[in-house]
């Protein structure tokens, strides 16, 4: 019996050291060497202060900023510890109610806007953490921000175009705009005027 248990215990010990110690250390060292920005959370730092991660959305609700997608995480929006979808089906009244609240907020913030509201401004993503909106969602908000900040429309259009990311490798996904990056650029733009 000892003849059978001894090799099993040695294998358990060997694989515990290999997969629980050596492998994580090697992967961490490689990540810190070749991909330090990503390995450390893809943090956006401005003036030595962390403003957020480019991978996680943040809630913006003031009219002078671009707004992101709705977040269904709780107890607070964009709570990474509670990442999940709402699990509300397409005909669920609660889903319609949440969308209606956002539509009303968009209309209240810019009552003169007659453009169709892009769907990503009134719906949440599966994770509830998405930091991106479509270029159409950014364009929809330009007039409100231009009016609030007293910035020419053309300057905001250029800014949105500058922060529009293409499809990954030219084929995956859709063009998108990172809301946090765009709002940080917008804040520094206003500061320079």
**pLDDT score at 164:** 93
Q: What is the DSSP string of 102-118?
A: HHHHHHHH-TT--SPPP
Query: By CB neighbour count within 10 A (0-12 exposed, 13-18 middle, 19+ buried), where does 141 fall?
Result: buried
Can you give the pLDDT of all 193 residues of the chain as single tens digits? 778 898 999 999 999 999 999 999 999 999 999 999 888 888 888 888 888 888 888 888 898 999 988 887 777 777 777 776 667 777 888 778 888 888 888 888 888 888 899 988 888 777 778 889 999 999 999 999 999 999 999 999 999 999 999 888 988 989 999 999 999 999 887 545 5
**pLDDT score at 85:** 67
3-state SS class at 6:
helix
Q: How does strand 49-53 pair with strand 132-133? A: unpaired
43-60 in b/e burial notation, b at 16+ Cβ within 10 A? ebeeeeeebbbbbbbbee
Helical spans, DSSP H, in the chain: 2-17, 23-34, 36-39, 93-109, 135-149, 153-162, 179-192
Does the pTM exceed 0.85? no
Residues making up the chain, counted from first to last: 193
Kindly give, in sequence order, each residue whose CB lies less than 8 Å from that of residue 152, ignoring residues fewer than 6 positions away: 146
**pLDDT score at 31:** 92
**pLDDT score at 161:** 94
| CA dihedral angle for residue 189, residue 67, residue 140, residue 158, rounded to 10 degrees | 20
Asked if 65 and 146 touch (Cβ cutoff 8 Å), the reply is no
**pLDDT score at 190:** 56
**pLDDT score at 3:** 84
């Amino acid at each position: 019996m000892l003849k059978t248990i001894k090799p099993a215990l040695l294998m358990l010990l060997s694989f515990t050291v290999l997969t629980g110690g050596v492998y994580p250390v090697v992967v961490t060292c490689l990540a810190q060497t070749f991909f330090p920005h990503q390995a450390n959370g893809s943090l956006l730092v401005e003036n030595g202060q962390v403003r957020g991660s480019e991978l996680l959305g943040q809630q913006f609700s003031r009219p002078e900023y671009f707004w992101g997608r709705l977040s269904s995480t709780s107890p607070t929006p964009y709570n990474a510890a509670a990442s999940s979808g709402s699990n509300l089906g397409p005909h669920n009244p609660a889903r319609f109610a949440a969308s209606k609240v956002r539509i009303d907020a968009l209309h209240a913030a810019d009552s003169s806007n007659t453009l169709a509201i892009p769907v990503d401004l009134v719906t949440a993503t599966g994770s509830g953490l998405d930091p991106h909106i479509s270029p159409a969602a950014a364009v929809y908000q330009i007039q409100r921000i231009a009016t609030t900040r007293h910035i020419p429309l053309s300057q905001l259009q250029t800014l949105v175009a500058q922060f529009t990311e293409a499809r990954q490798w030219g084929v995956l996904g859709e063009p998108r705009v990172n809301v946090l990056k765009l709002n940080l650029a917008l804040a520094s733009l206003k500061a320079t005027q």
